[in-house]
Amino acid sequence: MTRATNNTPHSPGAAMQSTAVQILISISIAHLLNDVIQSLVPSIYPILKTSYDLSFTQIGLITMVFQVTASILQPLIGLSTDKKPRPFSLPIGMGFTLTGLLIASTASSFSIILVSVALIGCGSAIFHPESSRVARMASGGRHGLSQSLFQVGGNVGTAIGPLLAAFIILPGGQGSIAWFAIIALIGMIILTRVGFWYQARGQATRNTASALLPSKHTEPVIVRSLIVLALLVFSKFLYLENISSFYTFYLMETFQVSVRDSQLYLFVFLGAVAVGTIVGGPIGDRLGRKTVIWFSILGVLPFTLLLPFANLFWTIMLSIVIGTVLASAFPAIIVFAQELVPHKVGAISGLFFGFAFGMGGLGAALLGVLADATSITFVYDVCAILPAIGLLAVFLPDDSRTKRVT
């Protein structure tokens, strides 16, 4: 065999593929940076609770404002950009996040804290629909893999956030949050580069995809399937938000661990979520999205039921299994939904990312009220049965035609 040179017919395609891989890596890194910042919100709850004497209800309200802000805007932004791409909305969204960080670092009251997290939520709302579209554009047809790579960037960022909070914000105090504005600035630089690529390729790719990928299902099947997928996202994210928002308090109250140790255990759990995300997409490409969804949402039920009865060691072990298995569903759910309505990638991405944020935030607020009225332990008992909603996957259409043939 001879080595292909720049003059061979394969070189332009290889160059285009290389560029797409670079963009996919870039958008995944940007997702990492975005979600490092987002994960700071629940990570600093112990500081805020002590500094401002907050109740669990107020902690839940902070989460709700942050998540619901993103939830309301994401589908609207996705729908808008389906009609008219806005490549440079990505760095603009990161600018909202940067502003929110600076305000959070100097906030002097509960109401200002709510304003700061709302701005960070707005940045997330702008980022997710368009970055998910970019990941699909750069996928080369391997949509599950690209969605996993994109999402794992966010999961890694979410896992790193509590660790950084434990070693930077806890000793440095609220003012040290401002240092994370540097991360937002780096994200703006990366996303500006992605924006130029998106501007050059986006319109042609979007039109081509719309023309070549008509929906394979009737409208009633699509509507029913989207409702089922939304309910599955609800069960997944409400459980994950329960752990993300209250895991540290649960460990401190039940096992008397320190604040720093509880942050490290949260990092371990979120790292398991990252692992689950990276494996879920490629498995869905090969075996089908529905298979992954069945295994992930319903298969985790025995472990969630055991968690409230475990000692500290087994709590950590079970949380690793739960995070890995449960997280594997989300890439499959997103791609399944995109394939149901392939000409509305932005709206579908925004709807599901937004629904995930919104339901997680609303659930966190309700769980905070429940925790104040009862106990954190009781909240974990209630949430243990949430994965049973995975039984609804039986109503999803067969996706064998979407499996990747190798």
Cα separation, 129 vs 86, whole angstroms: 11
pTM more than 0.95: no
Quick one: CA dihedral 125, 127, 128, 132, positive or negative?
positive
User: Is 4 part of a structural domain of the chain?
Assistant: no
Q: Tell me the C-alpha distance between 149 and 350, whole Å.
A: 18
* CA distance linking residue 391 with residue 395, whole number of Å: 9
Assigned token pair, 183: 């991360």
Which residue from 58, 93, 50, 107 is spatially nearest to 252, judged by alpha carbons? 50
Across 3-7, 191-195, 264-268, 328-332, the highest mean pLDDT is recorded for 191-195
Q: Tell me the CATH number at 124.
A: 1.20.1250.20
Q: Give residue-wise pLDDT tens across range 148-182.
A: 888 888 878 877 887 788 788 878 888 888 999 99
Two tokens, residue 168 = 């930077």
How much is the average pLDDT of 199-214?
55
Which candidate, 128, 59, 46, places its Cα nearest to that of 89? 128
Provide the pLDDT for residue 141.
73
Q: Is residue 253 part of a domain?
A: yes
How many domains does the structure of the chain reveal? 1
Assess contact for 335 and 144: CB atoms under 8 A.
Answer: yes
Domain presence at residue 50? yes
Q: State pLDDT tens for residues 78-115.
A: 888 777 777 888 999 999 999 999 998 888 888 999 99
Range of the domain at 83: 23-402
Has residue 229 been placed in a domain? yes
Report yes or no on 301 lying in a domain. yes
Q: Please compute the mean of the pLDDT values over residues 69-83 and round it to a whole number.
A: 79
Instruction: Determine the pLDDT at residue 361.
Output: 65
**SS3 string of the chain?**
CCCCCCCCCHHHHHHHHHHHHHHHHHHHHHHHHHHHHHHHHHHCHHHHHHHHCCCHHHHHHHHHHHHHHHHHHHHHHHHHHHHCCCCCHHHHHHHHHHHHHHHHHHCCCHHHHHHHHHHHHHHHHHHHHHHHHHHHHCCCCCHHHHHHHHHHHHHHHHHHHHHHHHHHHHHHCHHHHHHHHHHHHHHHHHHHHHHHHHHHHHHHHHHHHHHHCCCCCCHHHHHHHHHHHHHHHHHHHHHHHHHHHHHHHHHHHHHCCCHHHHHHHHHHHHHHHHHHHHHHHHHHHHHCHHHHHHHHHHHCHHHHHHHHHCCHHHHHHHHHHHHHHHHCHHHHHHHHHHHHCCCCHHHHHHHHHHHHHHHHHHHHHHHHHHHHHCCHHHHHHHHCCHHHHHHHHHHCCCCHHHCCCC
Within-domain flag for 263:
yes
Give the count of beta carbons closer than 10 Å to the beta carbon of residue 145: 23
| pLDDT at residue 278 tops 90 | no
Q: Are 336 and 293 in contact (CB under 8 A)?
A: yes
- The answer to whether residue 9 sits within a structural domain is no
Whether the Cβ atoms of residue 85 and residue 202 lie closer than 8 Å to each other: yes
Question: Is 159 among the domain residues?
Answer: yes
Residues 174-188 have pLDDT tens digits of: 888 899 999 999 999
